[in-house]
Homo-oligomer: A and B are copies of this chain.
Amino acid sequence: MKKTPHATLADVAREARVGTSTVSRVIRGGARVSPDTLERVRAVIRKLDYQPNDAARILKGERTKTIGLIVPSVADPFFAICAEAAQETSRSHGFLLIVTCSNNDPRVELENLNKLVQRRVDGLLLAPAASRNEELVQILNRASIPVVSFDRPIHDSLIPSVVSTNFKGAKEATRHLISHGYKRIVCLGMKGEDSLYTNKERIRGYRTAMQEANLPPKVDVSINNYESAELALKAYLYGVNPPDAIFAIRNLLTIYIFEALHKLRVRIPKKVALVGFDDFQLASTVNPSITVVKQEMELMGKMAAELLFEQLTLKHQSSSKMTNGADSSGVRWLETELIVRESCGCRSNSSFNSPRK
């Protein structure tokens, strides 16, 4: 008995009195092996509880059958849902998924990326902290590892991406508020996140709509957490020229703001209207129900993963550009949808107001 916790292929070969090549063939399906031998080797494999060591296979040049995922946070419902979809797609292809979190910090992101490269993942799914990152693109190119970015594109690269129509969605949401007659619409974001592609696009959409209507845009991206949301709202609502509507550009923030308004006993939409970006559980059930711009979260994760596997499959074939459904910069756009509920000032409409699935 060896000390090793795992039996090796050589152990099996010895026990079955065959060569290692034969055992290898058996493991890989049993082609070109006589029924007798096949049977015997399989029995030994079972007896020894033999599990091939992936490291050796990988070293021989096989694929690692591993995908790397880099997201800001898996605790964020948005990325949790994307991650689940990516893991499911990976599993269906027989791949494993390594999940890392960047916290939107480019340095952490790069660290994670390097680790994944050392691990020789076959492909990478990435929601990049910054849409411009030469170093990242360079590493990706040098490692020549297939990548798909999602939620946010990577500029100046040929990296395909799956991205929601953030600009359009935000513009539409803002226009909707404007159509209600609100004039002092403030756009709220979270601290340190205003440089994220998605938030920039949403802010740009907001600004565009405001400018079109000749209204003064006001953007505040100083909110940190629930407490600071409450503080900011107090300052706004009890200050001079208080806003009559709020556009919250991200899932958690909408909830914080709703909670804070609720606690401050501020009437929505009478005193201030509210529209959020990202739909969420209970958005249709709270009082008032919350109007939001909805993204296709699950589809985003799934599509990104499937795009990656397309590349993986095509990798050794013709390097066709694979632009199906993508625009000239390689972006697949996922349509957002304005879900009109009550917080924007629309009347309650039970048919619009039923809970989601």
Residues of A within 8 A of B (CB): 5-6, 49, 51-56, 58-59, 64, 66, 73-75, 77, 80-81, 83-84, 87-88, 91, 96-101, 114-120, 142-144, 225-226, 255-256, 258-260, 262-263, 280-282, 284-287, 350, 354-357
Q: Which of B55, B81, B100, B286 contacts A59 (CB 8 A)?
A: B55
Residues of B within 8 Å of A77, CB to CB, are 77, 80
Q: Are A49 and B142 in contact (CB under 8 A)?
A: yes
A322 to chain B, nearest CB (A): 20
Secondary structure dominating the interface of A: mixed
Asked, given contacts A142-B49, A144-B5, A281-B255, whether A101 binds B87 with beta carbons under 8 Å apart, the answer is yes
> Which residues of B are found within 8 Å of A56, using beta-carbon distances?
55, 59
Residue in A73, A99, A287 whose Cβ sees the most chain B Cβ within 10 Å: A99
Cβ-defined contact, A87 with B99, below 8 A: yes
- Nearest B-chain residue to A282, judged by Cβ: B282
What are 10 A-B contacts with C-beta separation under 8 Å? A5-B142, A55-B59, A59-B59, A66-B98, A74-B80, A75-B83, A96-B98, A96-B116, A226-B355, A259-B355
Query: Distance in Å from the Cβ of A286 to the closest Cβ of chain B?
Result: 5
A259 to B283, CA, bound (A): 10
Q: Which residues on the B side are within 8 Å of A354 (C-beta)?
A: 263
Closest residue on chain B to residue A61 by CB atoms: B4
Q: Is the CB of A118 within 8 A of B53?
A: yes
Set B5, B88, B260: member contacting A143, Cβ < 8 A: B5
Q: How far is the CB of A324 from chain B (nearest CB, A)?
A: 26
B75 touches A99 (CB 8 A): no
Query: In the complex, what distance in Å separates the CA atom of A183 from the CA atom of B87?
Result: 45
Check if A287 sits within 8 Å of B287, measured CB to CB: yes
- Expressed in whole angstroms, the minimum distance between the Cβ of A137 and any Cβ of chain B is 14
A34 to chain B, nearest CB (A): 26
Q: Which of B64, B75, B87, B355 contacts A84 (CB 8 A)?
A: B75
Instruction: Give the residues in chain B near A119, CB-CB below 8 Å.
Output: 54, 96
Q: Which residues of B contact A285 (CB under 8 A)?
A: 258-259, 262-263, 286
